[in-house]
Amino acid sequence: MARNNFVFEYGEISEDIYYDVLKRDGKSTPYLRMHLVVSRTPDAPPLRGLRVCVYGWDAIWIQAGVYKGSRIAVMGHIQRRVHDGKNIFEIVAEDVQLLHNVNWEQAMAARKELVDKGYLLPWSESITGMSPDVFYANQHLSHDPEFAEGRA
């Protein structure tokens, strides 16, 4: 993700949630798509249908805990792609936080199962000495060529 292509948004899931496993080049990738309603101020009309995509193992546990009406926060980047001759703009999630009106038990049970299988790291400061948000941000920055250039 480029340093200048960063978005943070939160809102309520407004439409049906789509989950699938994409298969490309013999590899399977869990995929989750949601649409958010975002409303900041009472006098501004809400933005409807903000498309959010989650790829990878996080898609599994997030899908287990959210439904129409769930409030989530998303950090990620904006992606443009062409599908059936139309431009589609969407947020590709790097991190999703479940905020309100979610099924915590199902989400955490699904996440624990993925951690037990070794697909995800546990949410624990005891392993890295830092919070998961800081740990994952540092992981991302260590692979960001723009950040590495700035440190030289």
- What's the structural domain count of the chain? 2
**Token duo for residue 8:** 């943070």
The yes-or-no verdict on residue 142 having pLDDT over 90 is: no
CA dihedral 102, 106, 67, 12 (to 10 degrees): 30
Of 103 and 15, more confident: 103
Determine the 3-state secondary structure of 143 from DSSP. coil
Q: Are residues 51 and 126 in the same domain?
A: no
Vertex 133: Cα angle to 9 and 152 (nearest 5): 100
Task: Assess contact for 78 and 93: CB atoms under 8 A.
Answer: no
Whether residue 88 sits in one domain with residue 21: yes
Indicate if the pLDDT at residue 42 is higher than 80: no
Q: Is residue 107 part of a domain?
A: yes
pLDDT exceeds 70 at position 137: no
Torsion of CA 87, 89, 93, 97, to 10 degrees: -140
Q: Are residues 79 and 149 in the same domain?
A: no
CA gap 80, 91 in Å, rounded: 9
Q: pLDDT (tens digit, 9 = 90+) per residue, 67-93?
A: 999 999 999 999 998 989 999 899 999
Please check whether residues 106 and 52 belong to one and the same domain. Answer: yes
pLDDT bin (cut points 50, 70, 90) of residue 151 is very low
Asked if residue 136 belongs to a domain, the reply is yes
Do residues 20 and 38 make contact, with C-beta atoms less than 8 angstroms apart? no
Shared domain for 16 and 78, answered yes or no, is yes
Q: Which residue has the higher pLDDT, 3 or 8?
A: 8
pLDDT at 122 over 70: yes
Are 50 and 72 in the same domain?
yes
Q: Which two tokens stand for residue 57?
A: 């193992």
Q: Give φ, ψ of 98 to 5 degrees.
A: -80, 125
| Structural tokens at position 99 | 């905020």
Q: Determine the pLDDT at residue 3.
A: 67
Which residues pair with residue 98 across a beta bridge?
Answer: 72
- Is residue 37 domain-resident? yes
**What does pLDDT average to over the chain?**
82
* 3-state class (DSSP) for residue 78: strand
- Structural domain that includes position 152: 122-152
Task: For residues 91 and 43, state if they share a domain.
Answer: yes
pLDDT of residue 64 exceeding 80, the answer is yes
The answer to whether 14 and 36 are in contact (CB under 8 A) is yes
Q: Based on the domain organization, do 95 and 36 belong to the same domain? A: yes
Q: What is the pLDDT of residue 136?
A: 55
